C-alpha cells in the first residue's frame, strides 16, 4: 500500500524519504489563525498535551422531518450559523455523508455543503465527517477533495468513514463484508494521487494506469486525515498505527466504552512510533445551552427524541443482518433504540444545561478523554433557529473562554 503522509509541514516535500516522513507524522496541528498564505499554523507535540487550550467545532448532522422544516431552510440556518461561528472563534465545522433516510440523508455529499460554507467563512477548518470510500470512486473523490482544499484556501481536513447502515450498502451494491478493505484501499489511492505525479494502481477493487490527478491540494503533502470509529476496536488500533486523527461518537455506545477505545488508539499511536500528544481527537456531542438548567433540559427533550426516532428508523435495516466487519453493532442498534433524553444525560453523552453546568460537563469530557476537540451538534432534531443560535452564542461567550485561554 502507498505511503500515508501527514499534512502541515512545508519541509515535508513529496520526494522525501518515507522513513523521515513517518518519523515526523502528526507533529503539526491545524489552528484557527493564519501564519502563512494558506492559513496553516503549526504546533509542537507539547502543545497538544493535557492542560492546553481546547478547541471546539460544530457538527452538522441533519436529523429532521419535512414537517419540522424544509431542506432549504435547514441549509440556510447552517450557513448563517457557520458565519457566526467563524466570528465567535469556533475552530471547525463538520458535515456528514448519509443517504435515503431523515438521519443524515439531506447531505449525501458533504463536499457540496462545505464548499458553500467555505464561501461564507474565513477561518473555520472544513471537515468531511465523513466521506465514504466504499460509495465513491477514489479517483473522483481525490479530485473533488483537492478542489475544495483550493477553493477554501487550504482549510480542508478529510475525514473518512466505513459507513454502517445496511440499506446504504444494499442500494449501492456493495457488500458490508468488504467495507474495511474498500475503506483502506480508497484512502491509499487518494493519498497516492495527492502526493505522486503519476499513479498506476492494481488493487482488489480499483485498477487504473498512469493517472495524474488534478487539482493538487494546497496543503502539503496533503490535507490532514481523520477516520471515524464507533464500536470496533480494530478500527481504533488501525487508526493509531497509521497515524490518523480520530473522530468518535460516545452516544453510540457509552462514554466508558469510548474512553477505553481512545486509550487503545493512543497506545497504538505510541507503539507505532508517532509523537505522543500529536494525535488529534474529535468527540461528537449533542449540545443544548439555555440560561437555566430546567429550560435546557426541557428544550433538549423534543429534538433529542426526534434525533433518536430518525436514527432508529435508519438502523431498521439491521434487522436480520449480520456482518463480521461490524462486531457489536447489533448491541449498538439496541442501545440507540432504547436511548431517551434521561439516559443520554445520565451517560454524560451530551452537553446540556446552563452555561455554568456545561462548563463542568466539558471539564468532565476532558477528564474522560484527555485533550480532545468537542464537535458539537447544536441544531439537531429540527429544533428552532432561536434555540440553535442561543446555544451557539451562550457556548461561545460563557463556556469556551473557560477552556481556550
> The whole model's pTM is what?
0.84
What is the pLDDT, as a whole number, of residue 392? 98
User: What was the pLDDT predicted at 13?
Assistant: 32
pLDDT digits over 350-366, tens only?
A: 999 999 999 999 999 99
Alpha-carbon distances of 140 from 147, 189, 215, rounded to whole Å: 11, 11, 11
Domain locations in the chain? 55-404
Burial of 137 (0-12, 13-18, 19+ CB in 10 A): middle
170 C-beta neighbours (distance < 10 Å), count: 14
Q: What is the pLDDT of residue 347?
A: 81
Residue 326: exposed, middle, or buried by beta-carbon count in 10 A (0-12, 13-18, 19+)? buried
Residue 44, pLDDT score: 31
Spans of the chain, pLDDT less than 50: 1-50
Phi first, then psi, for residue 373 (nearest 5°) are -110, 105
Q: Architecture of 55-404 per CATH?
A: Alpha-Beta Barrel (3.20)
pLDDT of the residue at 31: 32
Cell (9 digits) for 340 = 431517551
Amino acid at each position: 500500500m502507498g505511503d500515508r503522509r501527514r499534512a502541515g509541514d512545508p519541509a515535508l516535500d513529496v520526494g522525501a524519504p518515507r522513513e523521515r516522513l513517518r518519523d515526523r507524522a502528526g507533529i503539526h496541528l491545524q489552528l484557527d489563525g493564519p501564519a502563512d498564505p494558506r492559513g496553516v499554523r503549526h504546533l509542537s507535540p507539547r502543545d497538544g498535551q493535557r492542560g492546553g487550550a481546547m478547541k471546539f467545532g460544530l457538527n452538522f448532522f441533519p436529523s429532521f422531518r419535512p414537517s419540522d422544516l424544509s431542506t432549504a431552510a435547514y441549509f440556510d440556518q447552517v450557513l448563517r450559523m457557520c458565519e457566526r461561528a467563524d466570528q465567535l472563534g469556533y475552530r471547525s465545522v463538520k458535515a456528514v455523508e448519509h443517504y435515503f433516510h431523515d438521519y443524515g440523508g439531506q447531505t449525501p455529499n458533504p463536499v457540496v455543503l462545505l464548499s458553500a460554507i467555505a464561501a461564507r467563512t474565513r477561518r473555520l477548518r472544513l471537515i468531511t465527517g465523513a466521506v465514504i470510500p466504499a460509495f465513491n470512486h477514489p479517483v473522483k473523490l481525490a479530485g473533488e477533495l483537492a478542489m475544495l482544499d483550493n477553493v477554501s484556501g487550504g482549510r480542508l481536513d478529510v475525514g473518512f468513514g466505513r459507513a454502517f447502515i445496511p440499506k446504504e450498502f444494499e442500494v449501492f451494491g456493495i457488500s458490508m463484508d468488504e467495507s474495511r478493505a474498500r475503506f483502506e484501499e480508497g484512502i491509499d489511492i487518494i493519498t497516492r494521487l495527492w502526493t505522486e505525479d503519476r499513479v498506476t494502481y492494481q488493487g482488489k477493487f480499483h485498477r487504473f494506469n498512469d493517472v495524474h490527478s488534478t487539482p493538487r491540494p494546497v496543503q502539503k503533502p496533503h490535507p490532514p486525515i481523520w477516520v471515524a470509529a464507533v464500536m470496533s476496536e480494530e478500527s481504533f488500533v488501525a487508526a493509531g498505527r497509521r497515524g490518523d486523527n480520530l473522530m468518535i461518537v460516545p452516544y453510540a455506545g457509552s462514554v466508558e466504552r469510548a474512553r477505553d477505545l481512545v486509550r487503545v488508539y493512543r497506545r497504538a499511536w505510541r507503539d507505532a512510533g508517532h509523537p505522543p500528544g500529536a494525535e488529534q481527537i474529535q468527540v461528537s456531542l449533542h449540545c443544548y445551552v439555555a440560561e437555566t438548567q430546567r429550560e435546557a433540559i426541557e428544550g433538549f427533550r423534543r429534538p433529542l427524541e426526534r434525533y433518536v426516532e430518525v436514527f432508529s428508523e435508519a438502523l431498521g435495516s439491521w434487522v436480520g443482518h449480520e456482518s463480521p466487519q461490524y462486531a457489536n453493532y447489533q448491541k449498538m442498534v439496541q442501545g440507540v433504540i432504547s436511548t431517551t433524553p434521561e439516559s443520554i444525560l445520565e451517560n454524560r453523552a451530551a452537553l446540556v444545561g446552563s452555561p455554568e453546568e456545561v462548563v463542568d460537563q466539558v471539564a468532565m469530557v476532558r477528564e474522560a478523554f484527555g485533550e480532545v476537540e468537542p464537535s458539537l451538534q447544536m441544531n439537531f432534531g429540527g429544533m428552532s433557529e432561536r434555540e440553535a443560535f442561543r446555544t451557539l452564542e451562550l457556548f461561545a461567550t460563557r463556556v469556551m473562554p473557560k477552556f481556550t485561554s
